[in-house]
């Protein structure tokens, strides 16, 4: 899969990862309540966070699970994640490993919850869902988490943001910044999960976050 290296390189470089860590939205903590309720376990034995980046979506579990593993192929991302996590209470419950969503060095049926926060669109769906299904215990829950972006403020700001984003995309394409990069549309996540037949029950929920 030639796009794997290109997708990882897209998220490398100290300047990029520091900006990512500073401005990337963190998932709302209420998601933990929802996902543990659905998994019928108050405190998961193991949570696996795929495409964990700088750990924003991994660290929220540190006080709520016995063990948390962030899986991230970018060494630069993992370096920031480890530094941000080191000083946290209960940091010993959390670790980051190098890996890809379709090939996890984890035991079968070992995870209560598997999450993928704003990163599933960078992963090949069929092989990822197969691997998620393999590591989830029976009754475990997989959650692909995304946020609406940009945040709703006023129409002028949103219009300016979208026009700026389109200009950046055109510039990047012209300069070859996205060569070999591949991603899947977020709007298709739900249908692809349902079509995979890897999960007994699939639905979309929305939560409000301030």
Residue 151 confidence (pLDDT) = 82
- Rounded to an integer, what distance in angstroms lies between the CA atom of residue 50 and that of residue 27? 14
Q: What is the mean pLDDT of residues 8-19?
A: 78
Q: Which two tokens stand for residue 193?
A: 């999960």
Residue 179 in 3-state DSSP?
coil
Domain membership of residue 108 (yes or no) is yes
Mean pLDDT score of the chain, rounded to an integer? Answer: 92
Confidence of residue 178 (pLDDT cuts 50, 70, 90): confident
b/e code 143-169 from CB counts within 10 Å (16+ = b): bbbeeeeeeeeeeeeeeeeeeeeeeee
Q: How far apart are CA 175 and CA 69, in angstroms?
A: 36
Tell me whether residue 118 is in a domain: yes
Task: Print the domain residue range for 129.
Answer: 3-149+183-196
CA 7 to chain centre: 14
d(CA 138, CA 79): 33
Tell whether 80 is covered by a domain: yes
Q: What is the pLDDT of residue 105?
A: 93
| Residues 189-201: tens digit of each pLDDT | 999 999 999 999 9
Are the C-beta atoms of 34 and 60 separated by less than 8 Å?
Answer: no
More confident residue, 64 or 178: 64
Return left, alpha or beta for 95; rule: phi > 0 is left, psi -120 to 50 is alpha, else beta.
beta
Here the tokens at position 116 are 């993928």
User: In the sheet where 47-50 sits, what is the strand order?
Assistant: 94-97, 68-71, 47-50, 111-117, 136-145
Cis preceding linkage at 159, omega within 30: no
Which of 14-23, 43-52, 61-70 has the weakest average pLDDT?
14-23
In a domain, 7, yes or no: yes
Q: What share of the chain is helix, strand, coil (3-state, %, to 5)?
A: 45, 15, 40
Is residue 2 pLDDT above 60, yes or no? no
Percent of the chain exceeding pLDDT 90 equals: 77
Cα–Cα nearest to 42, from 144, 90, 100, 112 = 112
Is 132 part of a structural domain of the chain? yes
Please report, for the domain that includes residue 128, its CATH number: 3.40.50.150
Return the percentage of the chain with pLDDT > 70, whole number: 98
List phi, psi (to 5°) of 13.
Answer: 105, 130
Residue 165 falls inside a structural domain: no
Which residue in 69, 71, 53, 73 sits closest to 61, CA to CA?
69
Domains: count for the chain: 1
Model confidence pLDDT, tens digit, residues 100-145: 999 999 999 999 999 999 999 999 999 999 999 999 999 999 999 9
Give the residue with greater pLDDT, 193 vs 11: 193
The pLDDT of residue 153? 84
Confidence band of 210 (pLDDT split at 50, 70, 90): confident
Q: pLDDT for 145-155, tens place per residue?
A: 999 888 888 99
List of residues 6+ apart from 178 with CB closer than 8 A: 10, 172
Which of 142 and 4 is assigned the larger pLDDT? 142
Any domain includes 209? no
In a domain, 166, yes or no: no
């Amino acid at each position: 899969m030639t796009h794997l290296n290109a997708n990882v390189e897209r998220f490398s470089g100290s300047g990029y990862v520091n900006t990512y860590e500073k401005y990337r939205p963190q998932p709302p903590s209420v998601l933990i309540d929802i996902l543990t309720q659905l998994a019928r376990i108050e405190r998961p034995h193991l949570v696996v966070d795929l495409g964990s980046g700088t750990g924003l979506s991994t660290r929220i579990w540190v006080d709520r699970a016995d063990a948390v593993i962030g899986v991230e192929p970018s060494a630069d991302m993992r370096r920031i994640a480890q530094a941000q996590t080191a000083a946290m209470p209960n940091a010993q419950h959390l670790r980051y490993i190098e890996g890809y969503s379709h090939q996890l060095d984890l035991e079968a049926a070992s995870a209560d919850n598997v999450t993928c926060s704003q990163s599933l669109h960078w992963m090949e769906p069929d092989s990822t869902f197969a691997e998620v299904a393999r590591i989830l215990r029976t009754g475990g829950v997989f959650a692909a988490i995304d946020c609406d972006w940009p945040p709703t403020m006023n129409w002028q700001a949103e219009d300016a943001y979208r026009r700026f984003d389109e200009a950046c995309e055109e510039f990047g394409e012209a300069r070859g910044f996205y060569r070999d990069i591949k991603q899947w549309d977020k709007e298709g996540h739900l249908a692809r999960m349902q079509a995979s037949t890897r999960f007994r029950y699939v639905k979309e929920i929305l939560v409000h976050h301030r």
